């Protein structure tokens, strides 16, 4: 993304204005305090390329930014490919209450199984992750291993990943706590967790959660690139015709049954949609066979501009699943919108979850989705 509308110069201007105006600075600091007292996590996964789209208002709406992604190279965590990472410190000058976390991994990012397989490998991984965290003034580390005991993303895996994942998290937690004793600070350790039984089966969450501050549930892509049947990819509840089907609520139940406390779970939302093409024109396209998988993705910005009740597409609402979808007689799109996010936020409160997160910040340049979550989680 080449748009520099909210790049370094813009952020620098914000800081300069606040430093010149003590009254305004005081008002913004008060907002930051109120944010910190709000209680619920509102975390954005922010890709390095998305930094230029950050706006002033969202700096105060968010509690956390998970910066994506550092990677593992030759057993070491590195971030030399991240071009905009140091701009985060400008955001923290504007809002000192903003918590920033470096996220390591992502879909197709390997090296985890190898690094976790030996005590030496785990130590090197932890040391280099913490070194990168300190170098860029992050407040913690997020592990996005997709997934232990699985090579679905084309990465190495081993049955030993199940226990080694726990040992890796323990190594990180112990070293972060040791650093925190020196700095008089608590450093966060979180993970991004797959929303299906496969993640539970490939991990020891009943043990691993004790080393974690939060478990970010990736309750999106629950349907999509791997199947030819249309469906919701980020639905709160199951379809009426599939009461045992995957959903956000079912994922929460899975992790709670696996031993993860509700107050550590952060529910995921999608700032993008998934599209199937060549869909049978039956029942508005929902749960129908398609010629393609749901491999096509569209940002929420694109959806608003060109698809929602536009160009032949009609918006439908599944009240059982609490999920919207679009259909034009041939193409089906599953996505989150303001209405579905309001239901998710209310569910978070009802279940006593920690809060919400979403992938990915720059995919909604209308900024309406983050504002909806901010309002509902206050």
User: Distance between CA 360 and CA 363 in Å, rounded?
Assistant: 6
User: Distance between CA 229 and CA 334 in Å, rounded?
Assistant: 12
**Mean pLDDT value across residues 191-215:** 98
What positions carry a catalytic annotation?
Answer: 146
What element of type H or E holds 90?
A: helix 88-94
Domain assignment of residue 199, given as a range = 8-271+336-377
User: Count of H helices and E strands in the chain?
Assistant: 13, 14
pLDDT band at 37 (very low <50, low <70, confident <90, very high): low
Nearest Cα to 221, choosing from 358, 70, 373, 327?
358
Q: Residue 256 burial by CB count (10 A; 0-12/13-18/19+): exposed, middle or buried?
A: middle
Task: Look up the CATH number of the domain holding residue 360.
Answer: 3.20.20.80
Q: Are 172 and 129 in contact (CB under 8 A)?
A: yes
- Is residue 183 domain-resident? yes
The alpha carbons of the chain give a radius of gyration, in whole angstroms, of 21
User: Distance between CA 330 and CA 27 in Å, rounded?
Assistant: 51
- Is residue 162 domain-resident? yes
Structure confidence at residue 371 (pLDDT): 98
Q: Are 241 and 217 in contact (CB under 8 A)?
A: no
**178: which residues sit within 8 A by CB, 6+ positions away?**
none
Give the pTM: 0.91
- Is residue 284 domain-resident? no
- Is residue 207 domain-resident? yes
Taking CA atoms, 164 is separated from 36, 103, 189, 201, in Å, by 34, 19, 16, 14
Domain count, the chain: 1
Nearest Cα to 217, choosing from 162, 298, 142, 275?
142
Antiparallel, parallel or unpaired: β 272-276 and 332-334 = antiparallel
Order of strands, edge to edge, in the sheet holding 323-327?
296-299, 272-276, 332-334, 323-327, 314-318
- Is residue 261 domain-resident? yes
**Mean pLDDT value across residues 53-67:** 97
Structure confidence at residue 17 (pLDDT): 39
Concatenated DSSP letters for 162-175?
Answer: HHHHHHHHHHHHHH
Q: Residue 78 burial by CB count (10 A; 0-12/13-18/19+): exposed, middle or buried?
A: middle
**Minimum mean pLDDT range among 171-175, 180-184, 243-247, 306-310:** 243-247
How big is the CA angle at 300 (ends 99 and 353), to the nearest 5 degrees? 45
- Is residue 296 domain-resident? no
- Is residue 306 domain-resident? no
- For the stretch 109-157, pLDDT in tens is 999 999 999 999 999 999 999 999 999 999 999 999 999 999 999 999 9
- Is residue 315 domain-resident? no
């Amino acid at each position: 993304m080449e748009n520099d509308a909210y790049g370094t110069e813009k952020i620098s201007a914000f800081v300069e204005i606040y430093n010149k105006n003590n009254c305004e600075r005081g008002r913004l600091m008060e907002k930051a305090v109120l944010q910190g007292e709000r209680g619920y996590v509102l975390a954005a996964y922010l890709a390095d390329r998305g930094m230029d789209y950050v706006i002033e208002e969202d700096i105060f709406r968010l509690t956390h930014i998970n910066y994506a992604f550092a990677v593992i190279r030759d057993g070491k965590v590195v971030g030399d490919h991240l071009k905009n990472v140091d701009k985060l410190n400008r955001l923290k000058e504007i809002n000192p209450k903003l918590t920033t976390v470096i996220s390591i991994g992502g879909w197709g990012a390997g090296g985890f199984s190898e690094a976790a397989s030996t005590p030496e490998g785990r130590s090197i991984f932890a040391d280099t992750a913490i070194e990168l965290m300190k170098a860029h003034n992050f407040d913690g580390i997020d592990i996005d291993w997709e997934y232990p005991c699985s090579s679905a993303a084309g990465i190495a895996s081993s049955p030993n990943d199940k226990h080694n994942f726990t040992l890796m998290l323990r190594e990180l937690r112990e070293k972060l706590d040791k650093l925190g004793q020196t700095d008089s600070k608590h450093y966060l350790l979180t993970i991004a967790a797959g929303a299906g039984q496969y993640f539970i089966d490939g991990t020891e969450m009943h043990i691993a959660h004790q080393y974690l501050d939060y478990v970010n549930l990736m309750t999106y892509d629950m349907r999509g690139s791997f199947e030819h049947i249309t469906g919701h990819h980020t639905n709160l509840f199951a379809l009426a015709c599939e009461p045992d089907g995957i959903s956000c609520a079912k994922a929460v139940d899975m992790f709670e049954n696996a031993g993860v406390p509700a107050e550590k779970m952060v529910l995921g939302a999608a700032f993008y949609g998934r599209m199937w093409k060549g869909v049978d024109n039956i029942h508005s396209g929902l749960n129908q066979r398609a010629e393609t998988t749901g491999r096509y993705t569209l940002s929420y910005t694109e959806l608003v501009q060109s698809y929602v009740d536009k160009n032949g597409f009609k918006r439908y609402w599944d009240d059982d699943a609490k999920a919207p979808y679009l259909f034009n007689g041939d193409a089906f799109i599953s996505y989150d919108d303001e209405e579905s996010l309001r239901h998710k936020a209310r569910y978070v409160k009802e279940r006593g979850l920690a809060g919400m997160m979403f992938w990915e910040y720059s995919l909604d340049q209308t900024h309406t989705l983050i504002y909806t979550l901010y309002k509902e989680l206050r």
